[in-house]
Amino acid sequence: MKDTIRQLIQQALTRLVTEGVLPEGLTPAIQVENARDKTHGDFASNIAMMLAKPAGMKPRDLAEKLIAALPADEQVSKVEIAGPGFLNFFQNT
């Protein structure tokens, strides 16, 4: 599942570069971890916080754009923003 989420995030990043939201040449190591608190989702990523500075954006603003650019996937029921810009992924059961 972590690999699926990484792929979804990569697709969203590619879309945001194509749309001119993100600069070209960013090659982040996309980190996806098990969520510590399951009420906040099953998996979490800090990608918006990692890319906010090079993108010249606030982490939460970038997180919103990432969520909007994420392709739909039957394994993911929803994605929410938490705290300063974490993306929390909820897995379909």
- In the chain, how many domains are there? 1
pTM: 0.93
Cβ pair 78, 5 in contact under 8 A: no
pLDDT band at 39 (very low <50, low <70, confident <90, very high): confident
Q: Which residue has the tokens 């979490």?
A: 44
Instruction: Over range 49-63, report the average pLDDT.
Output: 95
Q: Supply the CATH number for residue 68's domain.
A: 3.30.1360.70
Cβ pair 47, 31 in contact under 8 A: yes
* Ramachandran sector of residue 42 (left: φ over 0; alpha: ψ -120 to 50; beta: rest): alpha
pLDDT of 40 reads: 86
* Torsion angles phi and psi, residue 6, rounded to 5: -60, -45
Instruction: Over range 57-69, report the average pLDDT.
Output: 97
Residue numbers of the domain that contains 82: 2-91
